[in-house]
Structure 1
Amino acid sequence: MTTVTTSTDTTDTDTTDTVTTRTITYPADGLTMVSHLALPPGVGRRPAVLIGPEGPGLNDFQRRRADALAELGYVALAFDINGGRWFTDPQEMLAHTTPLLADPDRMRDIGNAALGALRAEPRTDPGRIAGIGYGTGGAILLELGRAGVDLRAIGTVNALTTGRPGEAAHIRCPVWAGVGSEDPIMPPAQREAFTAEMQAAGVDWRLAVYGGALHAFHHPPVDQTVLPGVGHHPRHAQRAWRDIVDLLTECVPVTE
């Protein structure tokens, strides 16, 4: 497990009617990661969720995922993968993420550093942590599972990555995955390889295929160039979010 040092930017603290948020920084992958922590009301320990972002990195939409889960009663950390950068140029993003996705050890280091930051939060119940991720962030969560990290659930969207042979047998929790039927980046062959890996390993797995959806269908449009095959599908985005919340409710229910 990577040793993690956490620091809180107290100048970036925001209190709303329902959640408290702050910036958490820590080292990983040779970078200073700038992640977003959201806490539910109260003082007691709560189940926690690690949230992995798409390849471009964290933006306000990504951070609001953590806030929404805090409103449901979870401690939530939307973790950084790019050292505080948000890539607007898709080619620059691919230049950063393609080598990362080819290196399971780097992905595990990034994920373990974020997990260490989440566990360092006093309100986190360390025995009740789940992970959800999108694109690159989902691949990182799957690698934590393949490394045998103790998570209660893993949920991914657009992250049907396969791992080293046999390592999926180390996954100790249910895995839910969602993908668009028209996603050219995660085509049917990739779905088949992923589900074959999960099945051979005896994982408790589910796959939801959202009809007519492209890659990154869950993310609303942003003011930047996007890759071919990427597009928002508002109805399926809402459905995928409900499916993820249902997974968390089943595997890490919020209890007083």
Structure 2
Amino acid sequence: MKPIIIGIFLVAFSLAAGAAVVGEPVEYRYGGTLMKGYLAYDDAVMDKRPGILVVHEWWGHNEYARNRAKQLAGMGYTALAVDMYGDGKLANHPKDAGKFAGEVKKNMSVATERFKAAMSLLQNHKSVASEDISAIGYCFGGGIVLEMARRGLDLDLVGSFHGSLPAVKPAEKGVVKAEVLVFNGADDPFVKQEHIDAFMAEMAHANVKHSFTNYPGAKHSFTNPDADKFGKQFELPLAYDQQADQQSWAALSKALNSIYK
């Protein structure tokens, strides 16, 4: 099912000299569920360019996901921060976040169709080269983009940042089209060594081009500057790590450049 665009509202701002990054809150549907995303691109560039999907943390589609979309737009991509929960639903407490994420994960067929709806919206945008699509995700979103790769969606690259590794549907030989990058905090208590071992064995068995990077001392949510605040507020092992954040983003940028040149 193709997404239906309900409304677009434009707000322009400049990230750098010569750049005119445009932010568009977008609404689309899968089935009876309204999805509220955010599209960012540089409208000073006339050529069509690759599109990148950005999947939010378990808190939901928030400003952090939008900021990553803007960052990608400033690098010359068109980026869509997607809504996997529906209606732009946000959690203010880990109990709600866990509930929202769990509802998605227990029905991955619906999650896949929601992702495909966002992907279709991105592919059909005027600025996007429809055959050049990749996806990145954070925490919950990192696990989601890995699952989309496992299901054989036509993605060039997926990047998971402090995401969950256990497979709902393990990768099979000849199915995964994407190159897979995983950026993990070595001190993340939510990612066990057995998860890492199983993931690496899964990727090798399925002959998937992949890389796994562990950042010493980095905890869960290491790319999010608000992680320290959330960690303190809810007594969770979350912490921002500037070095790991910058290094993982540089590695993603390099990989995207290598694919799309």
Residue equivalent to 2:105: 101
Residue equivalent to 2:51: 48
Determine whether 1:133 maps to 2:137: yes
Per the TM alignment, residue 141 of structure 1 is displaced from its structure 2 partner at its CA by: 1.6
Determine whether 1:198 maps to 2:234: no
Task: Answer yes or no: is the 8 Å Cα contact 1:145–1:168 preserved in 2.
Answer: no
Query: Which residue, out of 72, 76, 80, partners 2:79?
Result: 76
Q: Which amino acid aligns with 1:241?
A: W
SS across alignment from 2:23: strand
Query: Which residue, out of 91, 95, 102, partners 2:95?
Result: 91
Q: How does 1:112-123 map to 2 (within 5 A)?
A: 112-123=116-127
Query: Which residue, out of 181, 186, 190, partners 1:181?
Result: 186
Determine whether 1:245 maps to 2:253: yes
Per the TM alignment, residue 210 of structure 1 is displaced from its structure 2 partner at its CA by: 0.6
Residue equivalent to 1:19: 21
SS across alignment from 1:3: coil
In 1, distance between residues paired with 2:110 and 2:234? 26
Task: Answer yes or no: is the 8 Å Cα contact 1:59–1:86 preserved in 2.
Answer: yes
Per the TM alignment, residue 43 of structure 1 is displaced from its structure 2 partner at its CA by: 2.5
RMSD: 1.9
Distance 1:102 1:197, change over 3 A: farther
Residue equivalent to 2:37: 35
Seq. identity, %:
26
Task: Answer yes or no: is the 8 Å Cα contact 2:161–2:182 preserved in 1.
Answer: yes
In 2, distance between residues paired with 1:240 and 1:55? 20
Number of matched residues?
Answer: 251
Residue equivalent to 1:207: 212
SS across alignment from 1:27: strand
In 2, distance between residues paired with 1:212 and 1:97? 26
Per the TM alignment, residue 30 of structure 1 is displaced from its structure 2 partner at its CA by: 4.7
In 2, distance between residues paired with 1:55 and 1:168? 30
Determine whether 1:217 maps to 2:225: no
SS across alignment from 1:66: helix
Per the TM alignment, residue 212 of structure 1 is displaced from its structure 2 partner at its CA by: 0.9
Q: Which amino acid aligns with 1:195?
A: M
In 1, distance between residues paired with 2:235 and 2:200? 26
SS across alignment from 1:92: helix
Residue equivalent to 1:61: 64
Q: Which amino acid aligns with 1:248?
A: L
Per the TM alignment, residue 32 of structure 1 is displaced from its structure 2 partner at its CA by: 1.6
Q: Which amino acid aligns with 1:230?
A: L
In 2, distance between residues paired with 1:67 and 1:118? 15
Distance 1:189 1:102, change over 3 A: farther
Query: Which residue, out of 226, 229, 232, partners 2:237?
Result: 229
Task: Answer yes or no: is the 8 Å Cα contact 1:135–1:157 preserved in 2.
Answer: yes
In 2, distance between residues paired with 1:153 and 1:166? 15
Over residues 125-177 of structure 1, what are the superposed CA-to-partner deviations in whole Å (9 max), with x where a residue is unaligned?
01111111112222222222222211111111122232324546411121100
SS across alignment from 1:26: strand
**Which runs of no fewer than 5 residues in structure 1 stay unpaired?**
none
Q: Which amino acid aligns with 2:181?
A: W
Per the TM alignment, residue 112 of structure 1 is displaced from its structure 2 partner at its CA by: 0.7
Q: Which has the higher contact order (CA 8 A, sep 6+)?
A: 1
In 2, distance between residues paired with 1:130 and 1:165? 20
Task: Answer yes or no: is the 8 Å Cα contact 1:131–1:153 preserved in 2.
Answer: yes
**Which runs of no fewer than 5 residues in structure 2 stay unpaired?**
none
